[in-house]
Amino acid sequence: MQFSTVIGQLEVKSRLIKSVKENRVSHALLFLGAEGSGSLPLAIAFAQYLVCENQGEDDACGKCPACVKMKKLVHPDVTFSYPVTTREKLKNPKSVDFITEWRKAVLHNPYLGYNEWITELDSENKQGNISVDESADILHRLSLKSVEAPYKIVIIWLAEKMNAAASNKMLKIIEEPPDQTFFFLISENYEQILPTILSRTQLVKLKKINDEDMTNALMERHSLAKESAQNIAHRSGGNYLEAMNLIHHHDEEQNENKRFLEWMRACLKMNLKTINDLTQELADTSREQQKLFLQNGLHILRECLVINYADSSMIHFEGEELESFRKFSPFVNANNAERFIEEFNKAHFHLERNANFKILFADLSFKVNGLLHVK
């Protein structure tokens, strides 16, 4: 994982690189940043820069044997500690017990969040923590001689999840570190870390990702159009995890809108096959989903009226989606809009009272057919 994986944070990156060039990397760093700001990928990228055999001006080479191992998170001299949860057969779990899951999760999303990680461990109802056994295990790992790099690096993700016993044990190690050892602690919450740990680490503070850096990243990494990228960047509050959630939600929304439009077209032409397929598809979903489909339909019908009659600045659709709804919107007009809304509300009302979905949807499709032909 190179510095290029990390969105923005240019100032912090260059400060870290400068400390390497000036040979004054502190042996214990605390990467502090809110969720989604990128402290985990930044710490890993810095570790890779340190072990890289062919350091470039502003990033690791990405090709040397050390970089190749770092790319898979399997470098023997760079070890990880992170919160884990107990299992029935694993009363004293350590990071090493979950290393496969950890590599998979971080490689899949270097901006991994705590909740996502706990879900990955399949223990949503449990608290993850870093125990005193883990601190002992770190000591053990450090007692082994470094294999390839000139030094060893321990990356502790979410150091605030260390309980007091673990923190105190870690503190002793940090105070008297073995030779050529670096500790990179990562934290999202300054207040939850023991003051004694804070006083012995050098702070690397990450700001939230700024709108411009976020917009560019969303365009490059998610192929978003500039306008959507700006919109999501703004709403994400500088949190890349949140931005990804918003994109996911946006995709789902677009799929729902597409499905609705497909249904409207099928109703217009009374295409029974498509109506049947859609009925079956929706019948297989939950009642909540069916209700959402109708609610979203109402929302779209209103949006069609906006396209027809209101100022373009009030339209929410954009790009391709707007084009397809522009073609459909003339079918929703002043003479049928009210009845559309009435029929949808009625269907929603009956759905809430457990009406048979297939009968209800077939009936609504016929009514929509009639309404779409009102000029």
Contacting positions for Zn ion (CB under 5 A): 52, 54, 60-61, 64, 67
Burial degree of 269 (CB within 10 A; 0-12, 13-18, 19+) = exposed
Nearest to 60 by CA among 16, 4, 115, 113: 4
Closest distance between Zn ion and the C-beta of residue 78, in Å? 13
Nearest to 81 by CA among 202, 198, 189, 184: 184
Closest distance between Zn ion and the C-beta of residue 179, in Å? 23
Closest distance between Zn ion and the C-beta of residue 5, in Å? 14
Closest distance between Zn ion and the C-beta of residue 64, in Å? 3
* 152 DSSP β-pair partners: 181
| Cβ proximity to Zn ion, 71 vs 87, nearer residue | 71
Classify residue 209 by its DSSP letter. Answer: P
Burial degree of 46 (CB within 10 A; 0-12, 13-18, 19+) = buried
Nearest to 171 by CA among 191, 194, 141, 137: 194
In sequence order, the 6+-apart residues with CB closer than 8 A to the CB of 246 are 232, 235, 236
| Cβ proximity to Zn ion, 153 vs 170, nearer residue | 153
The SS3 call for residue 262 is helix
Closest distance between Zn ion and the C-beta of residue 320, in Å? 42
Rounded Cα distance, 286 and 351, in Å:
11
| Cβ proximity to Zn ion, 150 vs 195, nearer residue | 150
Closest distance between Zn ion and the C-beta of residue 55, in Å? 7
| Cβ proximity to Zn ion, 61 vs 139, nearer residue | 61
Closest distance between Zn ion and the C-beta of residue 274, in Å? 55
| Cβ proximity to Zn ion, 47 vs 301, nearer residue | 47
| Cβ proximity to Zn ion, 54 vs 255, nearer residue | 54
Burial degree of 175 (CB within 10 A; 0-12, 13-18, 19+) = exposed
Q: How many CB atoms lie within 10 A of CB 218?
A: 26
| Cβ proximity to Zn ion, 65 vs 319, nearer residue | 65
| Cβ proximity to Zn ion, 62 vs 237, nearer residue | 62
Nearest to 37 by CA among 209, 191, 184, 247: 209
CA quadruple 178, 184, 185, 190: dihedral sign: positive
Tokens of 140: 């053990």
In sequence order, the 6+-apart residues with CB closer than 8 A to the CB of 279 are 357, 358, 361, 362, 365
Say how many Å lie between the first and final Cα of the chain, rounded.
Answer: 60
Rounded Cα distance, 105 and 349, in Å:
43
| Cβ proximity to Zn ion, 48 vs 236, nearer residue | 48
| Cβ proximity to Zn ion, 43 vs 209, nearer residue | 43
Closest distance between Zn ion and the C-beta of residue 149, in Å? 11
Closest distance between Zn ion and the C-beta of residue 1, in Å? 12
Closest distance between Zn ion and the C-beta of residue 8, in Å? 23
Tokens of 121: 């461990």
